[in-house]
Each structure stands twice: as C-alpha cells, then as structure tokens.
Amino acid sequence: MDLTSLLEKALTARQALLDPKQQTALRLFNGFYEGYPSLSIDLYAATAIIYNYADVPYDGAAAVRTAQEFLRASLPRLQSILVKVRRGATPFEKNGQLTYGSQPDRKIREHGVWYAINLTMNRDASLYIDTRNLRKWAIETLRGKSVLNTFAYTGSLGIAALAGGASHVIQLDLNRQFLNQAKTSCTLNGFPIVKKDYLALDFFPAISQLKRENQTFDCIFLDAPFFSTTSKGRVDLQQDSTRLINKLRPLVNDGGWLVAINNALFLSGQDYHAELEALCHDGHLTIEELIPVPEDFTGFPSTRAGNPPVDPSPFNHPTKIAVLRVKHR
C-alpha cells in the first residue's frame, strides 16, 4: 500500500478524535506501527509535525512531501506544518523547520486543561502524547494530594495534578527552560506560580535534599529519560529501573502512589513487569494499575501493520506505565 493510502486509512480511524475547535493533540500517523516506519505525524492544535526518521534524511524527503500534500488537502483548517529530521545535521533540522504557515501553535487543550507547548524547543514536541491517559488519571485521582513530578520536562503531569485539585505540586527537572513552560501552563489555567515549587536541579542531589528535609508526598511521578548521565548520577531504564524506584520509595507517604514510566524500547513488558513484581515481593509495594497508551499512538486494529522490537505485554506499548501503591507497614 502506498503512503497516501496509509495516511488516508490512519486519518479515517482517527476521525472521532479530531477536535472541531482545533485545540487538542493526537498522533495522526505512527508509521512504525501503521506501515511506514520512517515517518510519523502529530497534530498539536492546528499545527502538524512530520517526523522524518529515515536513516539517511534525504531518503525520507519524498515521503515528507507526500505527507505535507496529504495534510494540506485533508485538513483544510490546518494552519502550519513543521518537519523534524531525527537524524538531521543541525539542531535546526532536528528541532523543526516550518514548511507551511506563519507560526506553530503555542498551546493545546486536553481533558479541559491547557498546556503550553513550544514545538521547536528541542527535537521532541514539549508534550508527550503517549502519556495522555496518565494525565487523565492524575486529574481524576489526585485531589487534595501532594505530588512530586520528577524528570518533569515541561511539567504536564504536575499541571494535570493541579487541575485535579492537588494540594501541592513540586516540579523537578534539570532544565530551567522546560520548567518555564510548566509555569506558562499554570498561567494559562489560572493556577498560582509558587517559585519554590520549581526545582531546576539534578535528580540525584535533589532527592537527597528532599529526604534531608523530611519531605514526603502522596504521589511521585518517575518519568526518567531512557538513558542519561550527569556528574551526579546515571539513568539507564533498560538495565536499572529498580534503583530509581527504590530511591523514591521513602519519599512516598503510606498508602500513596509511585507512578513508574519506562520507555526503554528493547525492554520487554514481561521483563519490566517481573522487575516490578520483584520490588513488590516484600509487600511494601503493589502493582495497582497498568495505564495504557492511547490508540492513536499505538495504531488501531484496522491500521496496525507492524510490531515493536520486543513484546510490550502486559503493557500495550513500549511506553510502559505502572501505578504502584506504597505501604510502609
């Protein structure tokens, strides 16, 4: 099947998700799962982002042109298109080049909550679509709760918690520019900005500091990058999620939640689930819920044509989201 036919099929499957007000965000086409592995397309409000994942970027140029033509013909209210080249030679290519329209959108609305976005801030789009269901969980679950959002990026999980009535949210990320996006999201929703609740610190010393201060939380989000190193420590979700979870466990109040997200592509769902079960062996943790990734991100039964490198089950995607309940006695 040619690319245009695949795009038509994908768009048809997502018709019910399209927002007539053009405010929401969704994945329009996941080529890895829907028949064209070198291309994906996201929609943020009225801005489409085309991701060129071709090993040799020039080889993906024709597909990008086809996708642009399809989008402009099929989404008449589309206002702009960005192209991000994952293996681009310059940050400009990786972060996104505007190929249609005057400027990309700066905010989206999801489950009644506004999120500030900066679609060219880095090679990602500043808000992860695959954790949409987790933001819904936060809105529905965390009223009156205290929350720590680690590796917060632009703070969307913390913003969702605030929208759900959380009593206190601390956003922790090493990058101050990302945290400024979280502050903008607060402004969009009319939430007060408490400067001391935005910690632009390395994860490892920040957690040690919170422990020294005897701070605890009803819910902690652990959404670390797949792999990173700083002078203070190392993150490796493929090999060592347990260490990060154990580092955070003492900061969770009795009966609270530790939400662990692992996006290691080559870590099977069974292996990760077994790792979590081993952590639960002493009875101080239990696996309460596995939160699925939305279908527009995974592909639909009618559109799915590919599979991830390893089986993610019992999760439905390599972004593996587990809600763990913490017990201290």
Query: How far, in Å, are 69, 239, 261, 262, 281 from residue 242 at the CA level?
Result: 46, 9, 12, 11, 13
Residue 89's domain spans which residues?
3-105
Residue 199 shares a structural domain with residue 256: yes
pTM of the model: 0.96
108: left (phi over 0), alpha (psi -120 to 50) or beta: beta
Integer Cα distance of 157 and 175 in angstroms: 16
Lowest mean pLDDT among 137-146, 219-228, 230-239, 256-265: 230-239
Residue 149 shares a structural domain with residue 34: no
Instruction: Note whether residue 170 is domain-resident.
Output: yes
Per-residue tokens: 2? 């040619």
**H or E element in which residue 139 lies:** helix 132-141
Q: What is the pLDDT of residue 211?
A: 97
Per-residue tokens: 46? 């009225």
Residue 192 shares a structural domain with residue 245: yes
Residue 139 shares a structural domain with residue 264: yes
Residue 186 shares a structural domain with residue 51: no
Tell me, what CATH number does 31's domain have?
3.30.750.80
Lowest mean pLDDT among 58-67, 190-199, 258-267: 58-67
Query: For a pLDDT cut of 70, what percent of the chain falls above it?
Result: 100
Instruction: Note whether residue 111 is domain-resident.
Output: no
Instruction: Note whether residue 60 is domain-resident.
Output: yes
Residue 85 shares a structural domain with residue 204: no
| CB-CB contact of 308 with 234 (8 Å) | no
Per-residue pLDDT at 11 exceeds 90: yes
Q: What is the pLDDT of residue 59?
A: 79
Residues 6+ apart with CB under 8 A from 55: 38, 87
Residue 204 or 227, more confident? 204
How many whole angstroms from its chain centre is CA 63?
25
Q: What is the pLDDT of residue 225?
A: 85
Instruction: Note whether residue 276 is domain-resident.
Output: yes
Query: How far, in Å, are 27, 52, 281 from residue 39 at the CA level?
Result: 12, 5, 42
Structure confidence at residue 234 as a pLDDT band (50, 70, 90):
confident
Q: What is the rounded average pLDDT of the residues 140-157? A: 98
HSE-CB for 159 with a 13 A CA cutoff: 30
Q: Mutual orientation of helices 156-163 and 176-189 as an angle, nearest 10°? A: 20
Tell me, what CATH number does 150's domain have?
3.40.50.150
| CB-CB contact of 147 with 218 (8 Å) | yes
pLDDT digits (tens, 9 = 90+) for 249-287: 999 999 999 999 999 999 999 999 999 999 999 999 999
Per-residue pLDDT at 232 exceeds 90: no
Residue 222 shares a structural domain with residue 275: yes
Residue 232 or 215, more confident? 215
| CB-CB contact of 146 with 215 (8 Å) | no
Residue 290 shares a structural domain with residue 233: yes
pLDDT digits (tens, 9 = 90+) for 105-125: 999 999 999 999 999 999 999
Per-residue tokens: 189? 């929703």
Q: How many domains does the chain have?
A: 2
Integer Cα distance of 37 and 31 in angstroms: 5
